[in-house]
Chains A and B, each alone.
Chain A
Amino acid sequence: GQNIDQPTEMTATEGAIVQINCTYQTSGFNGLFWYQQHAGEAPTFLSYNVLDGLEEKGRFSSFLSRSKGYSYLLLKELQMKDSASYLCAVRDFWGGGNKLTFGTGTQLKVEL
Chain B
Amino acid sequence: GAVVSQHPSRVICKSGTSVKIECRSLDFQATTMFWYRQFPKQSLMLMATSNEGSKATYEQGVEKDKFLINHASLTLSTLTVTSAHPEDSSFYICSARPGHNQETQYFGPGTRLLVL
Which A residues have a C-beta under 8 Å from some C-beta of B? 31, 33, 35, 40-45, 48, 87, 95-105
Is the CB of B79 closer than 8 A to any CB of chain A? no
Is the CB of B34 closer than 8 A to any CB of chain A? yes
Closest to B103 in A: A48
Q: Determine how close the nearest CB of chain B comes to the CB of A106; give it in whole angstroms.
A: 10
Q: Is the CB of A44 within 8 A of B49?
A: no
Q: Which residues of B contact A48 (CB under 8 A)?
A: 103-104
Q: Is the CB of A102 within 8 A of B44?
A: yes
Question: In chain B between 9 and 53, which residues have their CB closer than 8 angstroms to a CB of chain A?
Answer: 32, 34, 42-46, 49
Residue contacts A-B, CB under 8 angstroms, 16 given: A35-B107, A40-B110, A41-B110, A42-B108, A45-B104, A45-B106, A45-B107, A95-B49, A98-B34, A99-B46, A99-B49, A100-B105, A101-B46, A102-B44, A104-B42, A104-B43
In the assembled complex, the Cα of A102 lies from the Cα of B108 at a distance in Å of: 16
In the assembled complex, the Cα of A99 lies from the Cα of B102 at a distance in Å of: 11
* Secondary structure type dominating chain A contacts: mixed
**Apart from A33-B104, A40-B91, A100-B46, 20 more pairs, CB < 8 Å:** A31-B103, A35-B107, A41-B110, A43-B44, A43-B107, A44-B107, A45-B106, A45-B107, A48-B104, A87-B44, A95-B57, A96-B49, A97-B102, A98-B97, A99-B46, A100-B34, A100-B105, A102-B43, A104-B42, A105-B43
Is the CB of B76 closer than 8 A to any CB of chain A? no
In the assembled complex, the Cα of A99 lies from the Cα of B97 at a distance in Å of: 11
Q: Which residues of B contact A87 (CB under 8 A)?
A: 43-44
Closest to B106 in A: A45
Q: Which residues of A contact B84 (CB under 8 A)?
A: none
Is the CB of B109 closer than 8 A to any CB of chain A? yes
Q: Determine how close the nearest CB of chain B comes to the CB of A94; give it in whole angstroms.
A: 11
1/0 per position for B88-112, CB-CB distance to A under 8 A?
A: 0001010001000011111111101
Q: Is the CB of B43 within 8 A of A103?
A: yes
